[in-house]
C-alpha cells in the first residue's frame, strides 16, 4: 500500500487532469479549472447547498458521445463531443423530472429529464475536438441525436437545444 505522501507525489507527477479525476468520481463540487456548468436542485450530490460545479476535466470524466450531427445552427455535418446527459444526471444523482437549462443570455428551456434517459442527448463541450468558444454557442451546447433519430428534428426539439449553457436546475 502506498503511503499518502507517495500517492500525492504520484498524483502531482501525473498532472492536474489525473489528480482531478477521483474528485469528479467522488462528486465533490470543487473544480480545479474554470466552472463551465453548475447543476443545482433536486440532486443527491452537492452537499447541503445542493450545487455541483463542473469544469471541463470533470465533464470529460463522464461517459461521452462523439457524433457527426446536422443541426439548424451549423453548416453540413459537424463533429460534436461531450458527456451524455444521462451520465450527468447519474453523476449528480438527479431526482427531479424537469431540467431547467439556462444559458449565458438567460434563455431557459424546461427539458424533461426523461429525454436524457430516452435519447443519447449530448452536452457538447467540443466541436471537432476543440472546446467551443462562446461566440460559437459554447461552452456547452445541448445536442439531440438528430444523426440517429431524425424524427427529433422538429421545432419543439430546437427549443430544447439550448446553447451557451451555464446551469441546469433539477426541478
Ligand X SMILES: Nc1nc2c(c(=O)[nH]1)N[C@H]1C(S)=C(S)[C@@H](COP(=O)(O)O)O[C@H]1N2
Residues that bind ligand X (CB under 6 A): 73, 103, 105, 107, 155, 158-159, 161-164
The minimum distance between CB 36 and ligand X, in angstroms, equals 14
Cα 18 versus chain centre, distance:
19
For position 105 contacting Mo ion by CB under 5 A, the verdict is: no
The one of Mo ion, ligand X, none whose footprint includes residue 164, by CB under 5 to 8 A per kind, is ligand X
107 binds, among Mo ion, ligand X, none (CB under 5 to 8 A by kind): ligand X
- Transcribe 23-36 into DSSP letters: HHHHT----SS---
Nearest-approach distance from CB 109 to ligand X, in angstroms:
7
Among 159, 160, 164, 167, binds Mo ion (CB under 5 A): 159
* Contact by Cβ (8 Å): 77, 68: yes
If one asks whether residue 114 binds Mo ion (CB under 5 A), the answer comes out as no
Amino acid at each position: 500500500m502506498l503511503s499518502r505522501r507517495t500517492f500525492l507525489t504520484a498524483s502531482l507527477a501525473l498532472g492536474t487532469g489525473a489528480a482531478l479525476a477521483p474528485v469528479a468520481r467522488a462528486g465533490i463540487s470543487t473544480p480545479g479549472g474554470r466552472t463551465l456548468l453548475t447543476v443545482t436542485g433536486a440532486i443527491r450530490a452537492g452537499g447541503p447547498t445542493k450545487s455541483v460545479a463542473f469544469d471541463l476535466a470533470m465533464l470529460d470524466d463522464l461517459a461521452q458521445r462523439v457524433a457527426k450531427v446536422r443541426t439548424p445552427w451549423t453548416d453540413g455535418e459537424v463533429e460534436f463531443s461531450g458527456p451524455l446527459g444521462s451520465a450527468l444526471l447519474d453523476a449528480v444523482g438527479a431526482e427531479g423530472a424537469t431540467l431547467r437549462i439556462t444559458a449565458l443570455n438567460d434563455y431557459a428551456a424546461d427539458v424533461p429529464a426523461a429525454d436524457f434517459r430516452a435519447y443519447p442527448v449530448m452536452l457538447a463541450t467540443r466541436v471537432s475536438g476543440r472546446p467551443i468558444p462562446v461566440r460559437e454557442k459554447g461552452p456547452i451546447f445541448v445536442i439531440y441525436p438528430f444523426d440517429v433519430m431524425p424524427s427529433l428534428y422538429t421545432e419543439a426539439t430546437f427549443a430544447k437545444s439550448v446553447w451557451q449553457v451555464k446551469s441546469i436546475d433539477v426541478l
